[in-house]
Amino acid sequence: MVSLTSPGPVVGVIGGGQLGRMLGEAAGPLGVELVVADPTPDPPAAPVSRDQLGGDFDDPEVVKELATRADVLTYEIELADPDLLERAGERAGIPVHPSPATLRTIQNKLVQKRRLQEAGVPVPPFRAVDSPADLRETLDELGGSVMVKARRGGYDGRGNLPLEGSTEAESVFDELGGDLMAEAMVPFERELSVIGVKGNGEIRTFPVTETVHREEILRETIAPARTDAATRERAEAVAHDVLDTLDGRGVYGIELFEVSERNDAVEAPDETASETDGGNAILVNEIAPRPHNSGHWTIEGALTSQFEQHLRAVLGWPLGATDCRAPTAIANVLGDVSTAQPAKLGGIEDVLSRPGTKLHWYGKREVRPLRKMGHVTATAIDPDANPDDLLDEVRAARDAVTFES
């Protein structure tokens, strides 16, 4: 554990994007300082960090220098190199969290799924595919409809392609390259997320969140999720099982599918359907070893934000409470332009005039189509507020802002 003193320690972060920015915003009240490594000039985290080291995420000299200036290393992007992190931490005599071993597992989606399956965690049926012929055979095995995923490097819908007919198998390989996997298309009731945190001998989870995706990009979240208590309990239980399979302290975003138990198209272990009475089955989609977009609601909506929790966890400090203050929804502000251009957001007055609504701007200088530029949060003033009304409110606030001139 890093000493609990004020002024506090320095956390070295690989990545200086919006997650790094929100880590820096959470670090200030704790007396913690951030040094970030990021190749982008003036990245989003720069205004809230002590310093930025410019260079690629896999630059050995940059990672080595970051370790010499920090009391602990962490990362806000999976493009970090686990081998470099491991060596740099060992040479500097400081810990790396979550562990490089966990990062290696999660960076490869096929390895990740196999690890979960071996641990008895329920996942959708999946297969490795190394050629168009493999993919056509897998389509037949998994019911004629699959989600094809690049094993490495995909995020925000990139690297994923739905496939419903074998005639497109070659084009999928042309677009995604080789080294793929395919998962059965899950007929889910809704998509869920659990933000889990592993501390120094502690494991905690935030309330189960419902996520709404379009074009494979997260658009909105609502917490708590609009599902029954038994399903939420099952989702939390599965999240704990996931956390048990991962090494290292920190926050983990655990993406889930809620699937009707009456659906027999999914190969879920029998025990997942009997952990609680009633409710639906839960399958794990993917894991992020860092704060996650689906947990941004915790900044206003929880007693401790996911970003403060991540800092507490990697430093080995006591974790904060994860209770929900009030029902909360967020809507991502995405680039609504057709071509890249300097970022200038209009319509802010509308957001700021709405009670219980907050705007989070990520500080990116360029807007591109569907690029995540910020988010809007709506927190219920009435604890018994209708979640559908709250979601309508945050969508209306988000739709009032635009990058179009």
* Structural domains of the chain, with CATH: 10-96 (3.40.50.20), 125-184 (3.30.1490.20), 190-399 (3.30.470.20)
**Does 10 or 143 have the greater pLDDT score?**
10
Q: Do residues 296 and 19 touch, judged by C-beta distance below 8 A?
A: no
Question: In one letter, which amino acid is 171?
Answer: S
- Between the alpha carbon of residue 115 and those of residues 104, 119, 174, the distances in Å are 11, 6, 28
Looking at residue 164, its pLDDT comes to 84
In degrees, rounded to 5, the angle at the alpha carbon of residue 34 between the alpha carbons of residues 370 and 13 is 60
Report, as an integer, the average pLDDT of 189-217: 96
Tokens 């319509």: give the residue: 347
pLDDT over 60 at 42, yes or no = yes
Instruction: pLDDT band for 4, please (50, 70, 90 cuts).
Output: low
| 5: three-class secondary structure by DSSP | coil
pLDDT over 80 at 2, yes or no = no
pLDDT over 70 at 156, yes or no = no
Question: What does residue 272 show for φ and ψ, rounded to 5 degrees?
Answer: -70, -20
Q: Do residues 367 and 335 touch, judged by C-beta distance below 8 A?
A: yes
Report, as an integer, the average pLDDT of 188-194: 97
Report, as an integer, the average pLDDT of 260-279: 53
Q: Do residues 281 and 261 touch, judged by C-beta distance below 8 A?
A: yes
Looking at residue 241, its pLDDT comes to 97
- Between the alpha carbon of residue 47 and those of residues 36, 42, 55, 71, 123, the distances in Å are 11, 8, 18, 21, 40
Model pLDDT for residues 363-388, shown as the tens digit of each residue:
999 999 999 999 999 999 887 888 99
pTM for the predicted model, two decimal places? 0.93
Instruction: pLDDT band for 35, please (50, 70, 90 cuts).
Output: very high
- Between the alpha carbon of residue 253 and those of residues 202, 290, 376, the distances in Å are 17, 7, 20
